[in-house]
Chains A and B, each alone.
Chain A
Amino acid sequence: MKLEELYDRYGEKLYHYLTIKLASAEDAEDILQEVFLRLARYSIRWKFIRNEEPYFFRVARNEANRFLKRKHQDEINPQNAPALAQVINDSIITDCPDRSDKESLSLALARLPEEQREVIVLKFFEELTLKEIAAACDLSVNTVASRYRYALAKLKSLLEAKDD
């Protein structure tokens, strides 16, 4: 698979995932380059991988974690939630005419714990199944399912709190 083909299949999803994970479109672009270079370097391994998509997300996730570690920032600072909410707001679209709906969701997503936000982003925006998310995050399916349920409940409460 050539790099262009790789981009056509997964580039946009990976870029979106990295943008939210790193809370920065510029950093996401840099890390996406690293991910693609890494994938190109070890392209011989692709033949032995049954399900490519979770594998590529796993490479992207590891690369992003390494980047955050280098920056001594293992997790997005909760105090930076408004900045992250802005990044999320810029990176999603909706058919819903009410703009405040999107802003509320962005803020609620930004306030979620990182591991729960990651599951929601991968499930709804990158369209991965829970099994694929488990493979991408190196977790058991049960752990991912539990994080997913907790995330939905927390999102609901955050959105309701906003409405009140």
Chain B
Amino acid sequence: MTDSEKEMESYLSRFRRRLPPPGFKEQLLRHLEERRKLERAMTPAMWKIAFTCLALIVIFLGANVFINRTEGRHLSALLNIKPTTETGIVQEDMPFIQAEIQELASLEKSLQILKGLSNQKYEARKRSIKDYFNLLNMKEEFNGS
């Protein structure tokens, strides 16, 4: 070390740092305690992770729907399949299916009518057999007497 450097060192050693203003320490520690209380609830890193996860979930769900639709459209175009509704029924077939449903409903109605008629017939037959036996009994009683 040269003499001039030593001289400068001794000159600089005459100066010291000034202490912070009174009350600085208490103020700083109070602010720190307030900020630590806030941070304890949820640290910035935790907030970042939470927001990232949420954003990823939204992106994933959105992408899933988009990919499904696009893929369906591409496959339909490739295989020359008519576009389908969500139930998988070809849209163009819908009028025929509706007509068939109506036909089935009318058939069911007819079946119910037939069933009712058959029941009536059965009841009438049961009643006529009962009447026959009653007549037979009356005849025997008459002859016997």
Contacts and interface: CB of A to CB of B under 8 A. Distances in A.
Contacts of A96: 14
Given A153-B4, A156-B8, A7 B17 contact: no
Nearest to B19: A12
A29 interface: yes
What bracket does the count of chain B residues touching chain A fall in? Answer: 20 to 34
B127 to A, nearest CB: 97
A29 B36 CA distance: 16
Given A12-B17, A94-B14, A94-B16, 16 more contacts: A4-B25, A7-B28, A11-B20, A11-B28, A15-B20, A15-B24, A16-B20, A37-B36, A90-B18, A91-B17, A91-B18, A93-B17, A96-B14, A152-B9, A153-B4, A156-B7
A34 to B, nearest CB: 9
A7 B29 contact: yes
B5 A152 contact: yes
B12 interface: yes
Interface of A: 3-4, 7, 11-13, 15-16, 29, 32-33, 36-37, 40-41, 90-96, 102, 105, 120, 124-126, 149, 152-153, 155-156
Summarize A's interface: helix, strand, loop or mixed: helix
Given A37-B39, A153-B4, A120 B15 contact: no
Interface of B: 4-5, 7-9, 12-20, 24-25, 28-29, 31-32, 35-36, 39, 43
B49 to A, nearest CB: 15
B13 A124 contact: yes
B12 A92 contact: no
